[in-house]
Amino acid sequence: MEKVGIIGVGQSSFVRGYPGSIRELAFEGFKEAMEDAKIHTKDIGASIIASAPEYDKQRSPAGVIAEYLGLVPQPTFYIESICSSSSMALRVAYSMIKAGLHDVIAIVGFQKMSEISSGESQERMGRGADIQWESPFGTMMPAYYAMYAKAHMAEYGTGEEDLAKIRVKAATYGQINEKAVYRKPVTLEMFADPESTMSATVAKPLRVGDCCANADGSSCIIVASEEKAKALCDKPVWILGLGAASETVNMAGRDLLTGLKVAIEAGKQAYAMAGVTPKDIDVAEVHDCFTIAEMMAYENLGFAKPGEGKDLIGSKETYKEGSIPVNVDGGLLSKGHPIGATGGSQIRTIVLQLRGEAGEMQVKDPEIGLVHNIGGVGLYGNVTILGR
């Protein structure tokens, strides 16, 4: 069957307070991707815009952004699966190209979270839970992931220092990522220092250092049919496997609190479609909205057995020089998490890695990469496997 390839990737800098509009923000990632692909707007058959609603006042932003980017009269679509919106958009674009509807599609993910306060942002995130049975009681993202952290600690003896090691790794690479919002070093000593911001409790056992930051940003992925990809691009990166799953919204309906079932299921699908196993993955981007999320991802994706994720980070096997480098661009913990743009940013990182264009963050000669992108508290899961 004809393959589907990625021919261009782009990303804005992730920042805490973008001064322009959402259309201007979207343009930044789009411009870089178009220059990367060396194509023109007339070459794009359709666009998919990905974000989470209610962070800005624009309703149906797809039309507004498509117009600003010069992508009319081509059709445009709006995709939302909270934090995994960009990855879900890639799945839709893949399907549309396979169906023969379009040859080239631009996926633009964005989020301008600074238009509302931090408190309002937390309330919006809380609405990702069931607004009848859970979110009215004040549940918020850090508290949900703190529940998972406590369960993991109780089941496997995971410690707070094990989680802190993940943030130290993230900061190691965030410092060299010019597009990251947080570019400062982090040490284990900072987690032990009561005077350090990193050690302040957010939702026990998670501390400030265990949590990613809100950010404004955009990303863009340009996807093409095999024929177009080979004609337009010298080094296309191929989509080898796609997996997606969903979970019960309410925590009361879940029977696993030491991992995310959507990641396990989506990973199984993606591995089967690509015809590979976890041992074949050379570099990975996982959804580290909290340190415990990265720990669970190690285990859910088969990089480590359940309970052994702490050994993987403890031995630095997930560092750039390790057996399975993970989030060597700093991850969400350092880059920031502009919800709709996050999946596209992750995909961009893996594409650059597979093309050998990741600069200081480059892993040695990777052939297969994986992106793990989660929406909400394990409500949606997307796993994408890419190959050069």
Q: Catalytic residues, which ones?
A: 83, 337
What values do phi and psi take at 113, rounded to 5? -80, -15
Strand order in the sheet with 380-387: 76-79, 46-50, 104-112, 216-225, 4-11, 237-246, 380-387, 368-375, 283-285
- CA 255 to chain CA centroid, nearest Å: 25
DSSP E strand boundaries for 41-136: 46-50, 76-79, 104-112
Rounded to whole angstroms, the Cα distance separating 196 from 38 reads 46
How many CA atoms does the CB half-sphere of 283 hold within 13 Å?
29
DSSP E strand boundaries for the chain: 4-11, 46-50, 76-79, 104-112, 201-203, 206-207, 216-225, 237-246, 283-285, 368-375, 380-387
What values do phi and psi take at 222, rounded to 5? -110, 120
| Distances 305 to 159, 222, 295 between C-alpha atoms, Å | 17, 35, 11
- CA 258 to chain CA centroid, nearest Å: 20
Rounded to whole angstroms, the Cα distance separating 353 from 375 reads 24
Cis ω before 61 (30° cut-off from 0)? no
| CA nearest to 127, candidates 118, 137, 117 | 137
| Distances 217 to 41, 51, 115, 335 between C-alpha atoms, Å | 21, 11, 12, 10
